Structure 1
Amino acid sequence: MPDGSPSAPPLRVALLGPVRAWEADGREIALPTRRARALLGILLLARGRPVGRPRLAALLWERSGEAEARASLRQAVLGLSRALGDLVRRDGESLRADPALCETDVLELLAGEGSIPGTVPGSSAMAPLMDGLEGIGEAFDEWLATEREALRVALKGRQAASLAALEADPDRREEALEAARGLLALDPAEEEGWRALMRLLAAAGNRAGALAEYERCKAALRRVVEAEPAAETQALARGLRAPARPALLPPPPPVPAERRLRVGVMPLRQAGAGAAPQLALAYAQEAALELARYRHFDVLETPALEDVDLRAPGTLTAFALDYAVRVAVREEWGGLRLQVSLVDLSGPPRAVWSGRAEIDLRAGGVDAEVVGRLVARLEPVILHAEGTRPVPRRPGEASEIVIRAMPLLFSMEGGSFHRAGKMLADAVTREPENAMAAAWAAQWHVFQIGQGWAPDPGAALEEAERLAVLAMSLDPESAEAAAIYGHVASFLHKDFDSAIHYLDRSLELNPHQASSWALSAATQAYSGHPEEALRRMERYRALAPFHPHDRILGHVFTTAYTLGGDFAKALAFGQRAVRAAPGFVNGYKPVLSALGHLGMQQEAKPLLAALLRIEPEFNVRGFAETYPFRRPEDREAYELGLILAGAPRG
């Protein structure tokens, strides 16, 4: 470095997303506890100003006594000092972070340096500030919410000013379009961003595109703030619909309304003599509420369908149903049984699945767990039926494209897998606000990286992150989107704390979503908790004994048994799983490790040869460096098994 040139600070800290820190040479620093990471964030956001110890103790240890809170604060400061050196300075009753010793992503953005994530092509969507630290306490959660909102408002103001300057320059229209989209990434309800998009597209001659943005604006406002567009926005849309030269410019084609599969829940109240007349209706209403947690279809409310006869002329036209769920309560063998059946209405009504469970009237009211377990069986049946239907119901609609791409995605066969990627990209393009399209496109990138098929793994990782965050922002109530984001965090980022947070949130949103249990089990296995992973996999299997994606999800059993040291069970599960999905590269590796530990080198040879045909560059060293092991001892045991099985060391 030439004399006089400034030296780079010795540390870099990211506060967007999980709190992480790196040395100047790029090596990541292991930070201590959650509260220590929260303390670091508080001090950095103070921008060098001192923060009183009583204030910090009250924010982070509000439920502890004063002496205990101060002792905990001292321990947190000691942990940060061991990890980060002199970054945290003590000043009597105050603490501060020395800004000269650290670069911080948030402070750089607030200073106007660099582009806001999610506002330029190819960048990741901006992750939440200090993600994964929610729940430390009410005082800290309130502080964090305030800081997040202040950051959003500040960046939104910066982006709005940039947009105004760019829109005023006719030669910078493309940059202005990106700035408008960036503003909407920060606030989907910011109408000036929508109006700018409409004006810019209309000025470029794309009147139909401008009107499409107006429709998206309406949908976003209804979703986010439950309001209609302002008078100024509506007037702009009216002007676009009335071109100045109607003879030369025909009106734009109407924007097609996206419609998901529609499922009606129908109570059969007279199904069993002696049954309480309202019992079937109560269970049907509970089934409709449970079914609404699954985001691939719309659920028609039960009262509208009471006593509907599926065979009556005009029924399907009137309700536009794709499937019906019939709920009956029957008296059998001296007790009551709940029966749920699924009817496909694509042609003449045809029952495609049914299940039943005993009702325990001693519990009082509706047994929600019984209903949840039965409804959990419905989603995989519908997804499989729609994904493999020879002729799609509504070709070209984003939701249908996603469902039809899923079997190809889980095939793990090169041609089918890449076709699924193109379909999911098409679905995201057709409907940018479809959360399921974004979530499953993110999952496709995760599998692409795991299979070693990504031409640029770094770019694929960024795109997976962007799409997963987008899916959660589009539908915060989607258990599936939260689970996929959690899987991205653990498998790609090795950020196990954030992964567990989002996967647990997924299970809170829908405790009967079988795939979420499987993905959460995988993260538990990576994190060094194989027993908990197996418990969650048993729950997954109980909810969906015949899940259409089990040929991939079921591999988590093998991984958990291998990491738990039960190599005989790992082998029993793994050999079946490899036969079911021979193209899934990560399915071979726990089986090979188990074979190595069992001293079965001869039996390992054909599996190793099959793996090397699919992944010719595979070696133990490269695998161990990239696979998400949280505990060094798990990595070492896994590596040893692979080496004993004869895998190339690298």
Structure 2
Amino acid sequence: MAEDPAFPGDTGMRPERRSAAIAVADVVGSSVLVGMAPDAAHQALTHLQDTALVPLAVAHGACFQRSTGDGTLVEFPSADAALAWALAAQRAATATAADPRSLPIALRISIDVGEVLVAKGDITGQCVNIAARLQEHAPPGGLALSEAARQALTAPPPGLVNIGSVSLRNILGQVRVALLLPECPPRVPRPAPLEGRPAVAVLPFHAEDADEASRYFNEGAIEDIILSLGALHELAVIARGATLGWAAETYDPPTLGRMLGVRYLVSGRLRRRGDGLRLRVDLHETQEGDQLWSERFDIPLREIFLVQDHVVERTVAGIAPTIRAAELRMALRKPPQSLTAYDHTLRAMHALDGLKRDTFRAAEQHLQQAMLDDPGYATAAALAARWHSLAIGQAWSENPANDAAQLRELAHRAVRLDPRNALGHAISGHFRAYHLRDPESALPHLRRATEVGPSCALAWTLLSGSLSYLGRGAEALEAARRGLALSPLGADRYYYQFFEGLAQHVIGDQAAAARSMRLSLAESPGFTSAHRILIAALVAQDECAAAQAVAAEMMQCEPRFRISHYARERQPFADTALGRQLLDALRQSGAPD
């Protein structure tokens, strides 16, 4: 490439060897910028080159400069001159991006020193190659210096961070590197995630009254929301640092979605109200900018930190099912040949909603296809394990032993693929509790599920089940209500209501247990587990006629049900008294022995 006319360079007659410092500046995410707004991006990049990078290079004694379109390579006579230019260039880029309406242009700059060869209007050498590769390790808005460059400086800048040796592409050996981090991370555009999961960004909440209490609450709540959403494996949540500098009140959702590479945005507005704070949290999709969900919270200042967990829990409980519903609508509109593993998984979850026998097999087919399309997708394997568990529990299995083996293998596969997959740990635990009838050994797996996925509703709910099977009703009820709170609007609410009712039955609150079971059956009339606990709750209240009516409904759903077989194979209670009470109630209801 020809040299810039602003620099004398060589005459092209004979090569020249000389010692030099090479600085390389690159615009972060330039391909994303060009893809989103090609004309504006070209204009902004050209303006930065013409008004800042080139004039500053001349001012700091550059010997040679080459434009790379989205960056620049400059030769200086010394490392000190290269550093002075790099710092000035970063200040210029920061000033350019100071207007929040401008494109987010941030530079990565690297410096190396060594011998170069200048010939035919170009510059080559090992230090040129190292500098070009080294900029990939520089932080946006900051610098990366090789050890040779650092030692060549008269006065290294304060704040250099030694990160040790790194490998560079197409460079033999390793290079020791020191970084200079920016005082304030700049805005940078992000490419959309390559994986199929929808990506969501949680923006800093806009605080109208930036006092200390609102600032602490703002930072803590956002961090907790990001961590909680990140534990849900159906979402890809971008890091908090990527959203710094972006404000929902300055940009519209489509612009932010393109810049951050996300499909969904969570934003909030925090203001003082009397002796407390009022927070409004919104969820927008970024294609059309539509608001999908919103909730308002009033937070007393005296309880600000006590309320924070509640705000986070309610926010996650509103966002997660809303995004799932939006993604499902898109997946259902796609032709079968274009479905991804994630789309197949969504369709499987939809087919399982309500536990209807006529859609149950379709769920299995979608999960099998998802695992074929993406063998490393842990969530598909965990959901497939749950499918086999439900098949056994509903007596829909034609071969329970085979389904149990498949359940165990798939649950273990999910955990192997992703040790932080809460659903896989939860299903592994439930397999031990319900299918092996050993709830005590299930507890470590279920506790692990709630640790790695504190926002996974099913993990808390299945933990509640094991505690109920052991007769630990108070603990079971607490876990069940945690699971129900995390999934208040989901189509599988019937499942969470069942386990709440199971815990109520265990602690002896039979009226509450009966109410919960009727709510569960209202949403999933074929869920025979709820029939059985409802029968037990009714018999305990001497409502035998009502229990007989429920038993008749259960037999319509499960005509082959026999108490003797159920006692041997599926009766879940490890607590002997609870197990005997359930079987006695089934006999009193008239269910066949």
Superposed pair shares fold, TM > 0.5: yes
Q: Give the Cα–Cα distance (whole angstroms) in 2 for the partners of residues 365 and 551 of structure 1.
A: 30
1:381 paired residue among 312, 322, 331: 322
Give yes or no for contact 2:379–2:414 (8 Å, CA) kept in 1. yes
Structure 1 unaligned runs (5+)? 1-226, 232-255
C-alpha displacement of 1:328: 2.7
Counterpart in 1 of 2:284? 343
Matched to 1:267, the amino acid is: P
**Residue 330, structure 1, aligned to residue 268, structure 2:** no
1:371 counterpart = 2:315: no
- Could you tell me whether the CA contact under 8 Å between 1:567 and 1:598 is conserved in 2? yes
Residue 382 of structure 1, CA deviation: 2.2
2:196 aligned with 1:259: yes
Aligned to 2:414: 471
What fraction of aligned residue pairs are identical, expressed as a percent?
Answer: 27
- Structure 1 counterpart of 2:433, which letter? S
Name 1:628's counterpart in structure 2. Answer: 572
For residues 313 and 563 of structure 1, what CA distance do their matches in structure 2 show? 51
Provide the residue aligned with 1:140 in structure 2. none
Q: For residue 490 of structure 1, report the CA deviation from its aligned partner.
A: 0.8
User: Cα 1:400–1:440, aligned 2, differ >3 Å: closer, same or farther?
Assistant: same
1:615 counterpart residue number:
558
Letter in 1 for 2:225: A
* Contact 1:376 1:513 (8 Å CA) reproduced: no
- Tell me the residue number matched to 1:578: 521
Deviations 1:367-392 (A, max 9, x none): 45643453243223322343355745
**Change in 2 beyond 3 A, CA 1:366/1:316:** same
Q: Compared with structure 1, are the counterparts of its residues 415 and 389 closer, same or farther at alpha carbon in structure 2 (3 Å cutoff)?
A: farther
Are positions 1:292 and 2:225 aligned together? Answer: no
Determine if contact 1:271/1:329 at 8 Å carries over to the other structure.
Answer: yes
2:322 counterpart letter in structure 1: V
Which 5+ residue runs of structure 2 have no aligned equivalent? 1-165, 171-192
What is the distance in 2 between the residues matched to 1:266 and 1:529? 41
**Mapped partners of 1:573, 1:351: distance in 2:** 29
Specify the alignment match of 2:351 in structure 1: 408
CA–CA separation in structure 2 for the residues paired with 1:539 and 1:296 = 20
Residues 530, 561 of structure 1: 8 Å contact kept:
yes
CA distance in structure 2 between the partners assigned to 1:594 and 1:355 by the alignment: 38
User: Alignment RMSD, CA only?
Assistant: 3.0
Q: 1:109-148, aligned counterparts within 5 Å?
A: none
* AA partner of residue 304 (structure 1): A
Match of 2:247 among 299, 307, 321: 307
- Contact 1:356 / 1:374 at 8 angstroms: preserved in 2? no
Contact residue 264 and residue 299 of structure 1 kept, 8 A = yes
Alpha-carbon distance, 1:537 to partner: 1.7
Measure, in 2, the Cα distance between the counterparts of 1:579 and 1:312: 39
Q: Find the counterpart in structure 2 of residue 603 from structure 1.
A: 546
Residue in structure 2 matching 1:645, options 582, 589, 593:
589
Whole-Å Cα distance in 1 between the matches of residues 364 and 300 of structure 2?
44
- The answer as to whether partners of 1:410 and 1:552 remain within 8 angstroms in 2 is no
Cα 1:496/1:357, change in 2 over 3 Å: farther
C-alpha distance in 1, partners of 2:390/2:327? Answer: 22
**Which shifted more, 546-555 or 276-285?**
276-285
Specify which of 518, 533, 543 is matched with residue 476 of structure 2.
Answer: 533
Residue aligned with 2:204, SS: strand
Q: CA contact under 8 A between 1:323 and 1:342: conserved in structure 2?
A: yes
For 2:330 and 2:588, the matched residues in 1 are separated by 45
1:55-82 deviations in whole A, cap 9, x for unaligned?
A: xxxxxxxxxxxxxxxxxxxxxxxxxxxx
Q: For this pair of structures, how many residues does the alignment match? A: 397
Secondary structure at the counterpart of residue 491 of structure 2:
coil
Contact 1:600 1:645 in 2 (8 A): no
CA distance in 2, matches of 1:351, 1:609: 42
Equivalent residue number for residue 31 of structure 1: none
> Do 1:597 and 1:644's aligned partners in 2 also have CA atoms closer than 8 Å?
no
1:264 corresponds to which letter in structure 2? A
- Relative to its length, the structure with more strand (as a share) is 2
CA distance in 2, matches of 1:276, 1:591: 48
Instruction: Look up the equivalent residue of 2:295 and give its one-letter code.
Output: S
- Check whether the contact 1:411–1:417 (CA below 8 A) recurs between aligned residues: no
Question: In structure 2, do the counterparts of structure 1 residues 561 and 334 end up closer, same or farther at CA, with 3 Å as the change threshold?
Answer: closer
For the residues of structure 1 that align with 2:418 and 2:484, how far apart are their CA atoms?
A: 26
Q: Give the secondary-structure state (helix, strand or coil) at the position aligned to 1:307.
A: coil
Residues 405 and 420, structure 1, Cα contact 8 Å, conserved in 2? yes
Measure how far apart 1:573 and its partner are: 2.0
Distance 1:599 1:313, change over 3 A: closer
Structure 1 residue 605: Cα displacement:
3.4
CA distance in 2, matches of 1:467, 1:372: 29
Q: Measure the CA separation in 1 of the matches of 2:506 and 2:303.
A: 42
Give the one of 257, 274, 279 matched to 1:316: 257
Superposed displacement of residue 554, structure 1: 1.0
Decide whether aligned partners of structure 1 residues 542 and 413 sit closer, same or farther in structure 2, where only a CA change above 3 A counts: closer
Distance apart, 1:536 and its partner CA: 1.6
8 A contact 2:199–2:261 mirrored in 1 = yes
How far is 1:562 from its partner?
3.0
**CA distance 1:297–1:562, shift in 2 (3 Å):** same
Q: Deviations over 1:202-224 (max 9, x none)?
A: xxxxxxxxxxxxxxxxxxxxxxx
The whole-number CA distance in structure 1 between the counterparts of 2:320 and 2:543 is 40
Specify which of 517, 523, 533 is matched with residue 590 of structure 1. Answer: 533
How many angstroms does 1:282 deviate by?
5.3
Instruction: Quickly say closer, same or farther: Cα 1:364–1:501, change in 2 above 3 A.
Output: closer
Q: Helix, strand or coil: the match of 1:437?
A: helix
SS of structure 1 residue aligned to 2:343:
helix
Paired amino acid for 1:636: R
Partner of 2:463, secondary structure, is helix
Q: CA deviation at 1:355?
A: 4.2
Q: Measure the CA separation in 1 of the matches of 2:259 and 2:333.
A: 21
1:77-476 alignment runs, 5 A limit: 258-272=195-209, 278-279=215-216, 280=218, 283-305=221-243, 306-307=246-247, 309-311=250-252, 314-358=255-299, 360=301, 367=308, 370-388=311-329, 391-392=332-333, 395-476=338-419
1:523-542 per-position Cα deviation (integer Å, ceiling 9, x unaligned) = 11112212221122222334
Give the C-alpha shift of residue 489 in structure 1. 1.6
Secondary structure, counterpart of 1:267 in structure 2: coil
Hey, what's the Cα distance between the residues in 2 that align with 1:410 and 1:362? 38
Tell me, in whole angstroms, the C-alpha distance in 1 between the residues paired with 2:333 and 2:285.
Answer: 14
What is the rounded CA distance, in whole Å, between the counterparts of 2:206 and 2:396 in structure 1? 53
Instruction: Output the CA distance in 1 between the equivalents of 2:279 and 2:536.
Output: 45
CA displacement, residues 415-448 of structure 1 (integer Å, 9 cap, x when unaligned): 2111111111111111111111111110011001
1:367 and 1:560, CA in 2 relative to 1: closer, same or farther beyond 3 A? closer
- Map residues 21-100 of structure 1 onto 2, 5 A cutoff: none
Q: Report the Cα distance in structure 2 between the residues aligned to 1:312 and 1:566, rounded to whole angstroms.
A: 48
Shift of 1:497: 2.4
In the alignment, the residues of structure 2 paired with residue 443 and residue 384 of structure 1 have an alpha-carbon distance, to the nearest angstrom, of: 20
SS in 2 for 1:511: coil
How far has the Cα of 1:363 moved from its partner?
6.8
| Distance (whole Å) between structure 2 residues aligned to residue 558 and residue 266 of structure 1 | 38
Q: 1:516 to 1:364 in 2, by over 3 A?
A: closer
Within the candidate set 435, 438, 456, 1:513 is matched to 456
Q: CA 1:362–1:551 in structure 2 vs 1: closer, same or farther (change >3 Å)?
A: closer
In structure 2, how many angstroms separate the alpha carbons of the residues matched to 1:616 and 1:299? 46
Residue equivalent to 1:501: 444
* Separation (CA, whole Å) in 2 of partners of 1:505 and 1:595: 35
Distance 1:315 1:269, change over 3 A: closer
Letter in 2 for 1:287: I
Larger Rg: 2
The CA distance in 2 between the partners of 1:551 and 1:313, in whole Å, is 36
User: Which residue of the partner structure matches residue 8 of structure 1?
Assistant: none
Residues 280, 294 of structure 2: 8 Å contact kept: no
